[in-house]
Amino acid sequence: MINSQKKKTGVIAPKRFVQRLKKQNELFRSYMHQDAHEFLNFLLNELVDILEKEAQAGKKEAETLSPSEKNANGPKNPQANGVKKEPLVTWVHKNFQGILTNETRCLRCETVTARDEAFLDLSLDIEQNSSITSCLKNFSSTETLNAEDKFFCDKCCSLQEAQKRMKIKKPPLILVIHLKRFKYIEQLGGYKKLSYRVVFPLELKLSNTVEDADSEYSLFAVVVHVGSGPNHGHYVSLVKSHNHWLFFDDENVEMIDESAVQTFFGSAQEYSSNTDHGYILFYESLGANNKS
């Protein structure tokens, strides 16, 4: 429905959406608790699969056209010398996909090896009384590879000490940040929820990108986990619409003040009665309105 409608905005009834989801994946047919981040990953990847299948079906249909029709509707940029065609870029990719670059610098010859990888969301480790900016800084911090972790340098043709860091090369239009609130504790033999206080600003600047040092984002949605542990709980959402913040709790929707967003940063003390913590953050690029 999203793909076929001509309008840029619209609504789909939640009941119909959930029915379709249950049909698509048996995991969601039971009343068992599901993780919101895993759900988001499933949803985006499933949408990409559906869109790619539809595009392939459309392509096969086009291939049945007569030669003259084929030429008229042919690809604008045909690949020369049988080079592999680029994968289909869907509206999911256009909105959510960014590119990370993994840089490794050999400390002997100073050669930098860079490897790009696409991402639809960023999962960040969190610390007590921190902020999204400091979490992103840690994500992109330099790590030294030595002793047993030495890097094989192609130029030196041997294992060498090296420095490694991850950077955001191309920031996405919609930046999805997942806070790693569930940590495996070996002594417990299971996961524990980290209720750490992590400040997420309404306006976020990405100062650690390669091509665009001043990528600015605005917060427009937050998925909140309510509960003291990883095996039970509830999800609610805060969504900004027409400059108003709305609080969604199942079928209940109410308007809240913008200042209420900070009550979901987390708990400054480990043991607190507040169990409502920001879990997934959605930021929109402030330059997004100017881009096609």
* 44 assigned to some structural domain: yes
Residue 165 lies in a domain: yes
Q: Is residue 291 part of a domain?
A: no
Give the 3-state secondary structure of residue 248. strand
Question: pTM here?
Answer: 0.85
Which class for 269: exposed (0-12), middle (13-18), buried (19 or more C-beta within 10 A)? exposed
In order along its 292 residues, the chain shows pLDDT tens digits of: 777 778 877 778 888 888 888 888 888 887 777 899 999 999 999 999 989 998 888 777 776 665 554 444 444 444 444 445 567 889 999 999 999 999 999 999 999 999 999 999 999 999 999 999 999 999 999 999 999 999 999 999 999 999 999 999 999 999 999 999 999 888 888 889 999 999 999 999 987 665 556 789 999 999 999 998 888 889 999 999 999 999 999 999 999 999 999 999 999 887 777 899 999 999 999 975 544 3
109 belongs to a structural domain: yes
CATH number at residue 124: 3.90.70.10
Give the integer Cα–Cα distance in Å for 67 and 35.
50
Where in the chain does DSSP place strands (E)?
98-106, 112-119, 122-124, 130-131, 143-145, 151-153, 158-160, 162-170, 174-179, 182-185, 190-193, 198-199, 203-206, 215-226, 234-241, 244-249, 252-256, 276-285
pLDDT of residue 81: 46
The pLDDT of residue 288 is: 55
Q: Structural domain of residue 139, as residue ranges? A: 18-51+90-285
Among 285, 191, 184, 202, CA closest to 231:
191
Q: Is residue 290 part of a domain?
A: no
User: What gap in Å lies between CA 143 and CA 243, rounded to an integer?
Assistant: 41
User: Tokens representing 228?
Assistant: 């003291």
Looking at the structure of the chain, the number of domains it has is 1
Instruction: Determine, yes or no, domain membership for 137.
Output: yes
**Does a structural domain hold residue 59?**
no
- Position 74 scores a pLDDT of 44
**Domain presence at residue 79:** no
> For residue 183, what pLDDT is reported?
92
